[in-house]
Structure 1
Amino acid sequence: MAITVRKASEADIDIIANALLESSRFGKKIGLFDLVFNTSENDTLLRYLKHLALTMTKSYCHFSNFFIAVSDGLTVGTICGYEPRIATHEIFSKALEEIGFDETYHERIAAYLLCEGEVDNKTFVLDFMLVKPEYKSIDVFKELIGKSMLTARLKGYRKVQTSIEIGSVENEMIYKKLGFVVIDEKRSEYYKEQFDRPGIMRLQMIL
């Protein structure tokens, strides 16, 4: 299966919204965006996430940060790669305000904030990876992550990080197989109570 990876455009908004929703849940009943938008209704969440990915304010959820994997003319997967020194939490809040949500979401995601790792300004971040079930193979993940890391190098970064939930065995195995190593993890009973996972681990690769 031949895979090519390109930058996302506004036309890719459907898979991007799905990636934001599904990767944040990853087998759980609720994910981060259920709490941000205070609803677990899929159609409503996908509508909000499409708006969020298309805001004038370029948060880490903006479509311009995504790459799209294509095989035989079909979209098979996506990943987000962004610069945390530019796409800050403040920018995320501003993008949410643009679509009508205020900062009260902070209270609802307190458990997540307890376990979120700190990323320095010299690090490029990967997030929101999604590959359609029928196309899941290490080659697709390798191409998506490889294209993201090439972009990081061209921007002058020498470190790439991602965060996954402790217990997300599939994602952990994929990243480790591609050369990432675990650098830390944060656990919280509050996080486990809310998300039914022990916490969050960070993985890193030196470019």
Structure 2
Amino acid sequence: MNVVIIDYKGGNVQSVRFALERLGVHATLTSDKELIQKADKVIFPGEGEANSAMRQLKADGLDQVIPTLKQPFMGICLGMQLLCRHSEENDTPMLNIIPLDVKRFQTDLKVPHMGWNNIYNLNNPVMQGLNEKDYVYFVHSYFVPVSEYTIATADYPEPFSAAVQYKNFYAMQFHTEKSSTTGTKILKNFLDL
């Protein structure tokens, strides 16, 4: 299986690679448009800030390539948010693939939302084999509201989209690669699509 991890100078790439290697998959880290287009599966990890990430994607021409992809595609954390229409983080226009907007948490709880939280309303083949209330690892100050595209929900304290799907684009707000056996199951389910 030809799996590509998109390299746009965002963090967290090595832990995604290691998680895939534990599943017996060697992934190629690249920003090469042709390699990305030819991949069987594409993974779009992310840590950092929306505006600088979008600048890098545009500099590499990936803002034009990613929306055209037809193979199963997984965005992780900032990689999920970048697939959306717009982010409140520095008023940033995003890739506009998933017709949703990214909001900042407005809560008395500590922001960023960081640590283990349970997910529920699991509603997708990538969530197969998970239990309601399984825990995953989050680090984020911005979120995607619950919508018709939500395939898993978490609360902080209000419900938000822990994961969404739109066409061939699957996206997780939590870090699958840092989410122990639950994250490993989700990655495996994605690779099996």
Asked if Structure 1 and Structure 2 have the same fold, meaning a TM-score greater than 0.5 normalized by the shorter chain, the answer is: no
Higher helix share: 1
TM-score range normalised by the length of the shorter chain: 0.3 to 0.5
Q: TM-score, normalised by structure 2?
A: 0.32
